Structure 1
Amino acid sequence: MKIIPVLDLMGGLVVHAVKGRRENYRPLSSPLCPDADPFAAVEAFRNLHPFDTFYVADLDALMGLGYQNGLVAALRTRFPDIVFWLDQGLPDAGEAAPAGVVPVIGSESIPAVARLQRMATRDWILSLDFFDGRMKGCSEILAQPQYWPERVIVMTLNRVGSFDGPDLVLLDRVHRLAPDRVLIAAGGVRNGADLESLESRGVHAVLVASALHSGSLELSRLGSVRS
């Protein structure tokens, strides 16, 4: 099971994402690092394990408050051996993401299936964003798995930072729709038992933040952890 740490960036700081309520997010306070500095957060995660992939949510961009491309580019420069997955939604015309990142585009940012069909075949990741079982954005995307890219995140926003456990029913549903896709779970993961349950269902990777910061996911006891 591949574990991918998460950095939720707002106003240049790492924030603690809880249940998808972005208006309530506050700067990170964690036993792992002294403050909400993104560079310190990456170092803290890497002190736990040599992770080679990080997921970055540019919440400013997702909320229409501007792009944090300078910060993301600086992270890439500081950590050239890390692959950064970057979720900024659909970029505005003329607003290019920093070079070298893998774009993540969430369903909440895709207005229609036609837009999904027109997307270039470049390397990108689709995030199916759910809240309380309902998909955000164009729900018709679920009925068109033939247009999904190779990698798909199942993001249960209402479980992010909740320690409620992953939404296994939802993950099973998406897996049945596209069993040939690389499935990535996000939201609710608490411990090694959750990872085992996800892996047994064909989930390839998981996005994690709170369980790493809290210590409830003890990497030293997980012999199959991959960076």
Structure 2
Amino acid sequence: MQVIPVIDLLAGQVVRAVRGERSAYRPVQSELCDGSEPLVVTRALLDYTASETLYIADLDALNGGAVQAGVLAALLSALPQTAIWLDGGFRGADEFAALALRLGTAAQRVTPVFGSESLVTPAAVRDCFADPRRAILSLDRRGNQLLDPAGCWTTEALWPDRLIVMTLDRVGAFAGPDLDTLAAIRRRAPGASLIGAGGIRDEADLEAAAASGAEAWLVASALHDRRLIPHASRR
């Protein structure tokens, strides 16, 4: 099971998720480092997990503002060996393409995450996943509610090779992973790589998630609280 560390960016700081209720997010307090400066927090997370991949949720963009391109460019420059998965609230492929132009060659290390909560039309879904290997689809839900104005959850034929199963009310909640939804998506997409998000409390949760078909899990709070074994101790 691959643990992919997450940073939630709000107004240039890393904040701590609280059940996906973004208005309640506050600057992160971590046992891994001091402060909420993005590069400091990112380096601590990458060191703790030995991950070569970082997931970024840009809350400014997800809340309707602009992508924090300056912060992203600084992280790419300081971490040349790190690949970034970015959910920038993209409503279509053109919005990521515009960001990639601003980032230049460093954009090659950025994988767009297109969230079902953000995509607005079926045509946008088709455009985003014309190359099923390039982008990632995040199937977003909050409790029993599917966040899906474009119908992503019901168009399996358009799903790319990698899918994130995102249960927002479990993010930062320590409520356990949503394994039922994960297993349901596994049955519908047996050949896809599934990445879970939300709810991880400890190593037992990671083992259960792997048994349910996840290949990786997006994690933040359990890392900041040292609830998971550091990478060196897994050997």
TM-score range, shorter chain: over 0.9
Shift of 1:115: 2.1
Q: How does 1:1-227 map to 2 (within 5 A)?
A: 1-90=1-90, 95-97=98-100, 98=103, 99-100=107-108, 101-119=110-128, 120-121=130-131, 123-138=134-149, 140-219=151-230, 223=234
DSSP-derived class of the 1:108 partner: coil
Between 1:40-49 and 1:205-214, the stretch displaced more is 40-49
Which amino acid counterpart does residue 126 of structure 2 have in structure 1?
A: Q
Larger % of helix: which? 2
DSSP-derived class of the 1:126 partner: strand
Between 1:23-32 and 1:95-104, the stretch displaced more is 95-104
DSSP-derived class of the 1:103 partner: strand
Detail structure 1 runs of 4+ shifted over 3 Å in the superposition. 91-95, 220-224
| 8 A Cα contact 1:192 1:222, kept in partner | no
Cα distance in 1 for residues equivalent to 2:75 and 2:23: 25
Cα distance in 1 for residues equivalent to 2:15 and 2:185: 29
User: How much identity, in percent, do the aligned residues show?
Assistant: 44
DSSP-derived class of the 1:105 partner: strand
Q: TM (normalized to structure 1)?
A: 0.92
Aligned pair count reads 224
DSSP-derived class of the 1:179 partner: coil
Cα distance in 2 for residues equivalent to 1:40 and 1:179: 38
Cα distance in 1 for residues equivalent to 2:34 and 2:157: 45
Which amino acid counterpart does residue 183 of structure 2 have in structure 1?
A: D
Shift of 1:220: 5.2
Unaligned 5+ segments in structure 2 are none
Unaligned 5+ segments in structure 1 are none
- Structure 1 residues 221, 190: CA separation in 2 closer, same or farther (over 3 Å shift)? farther
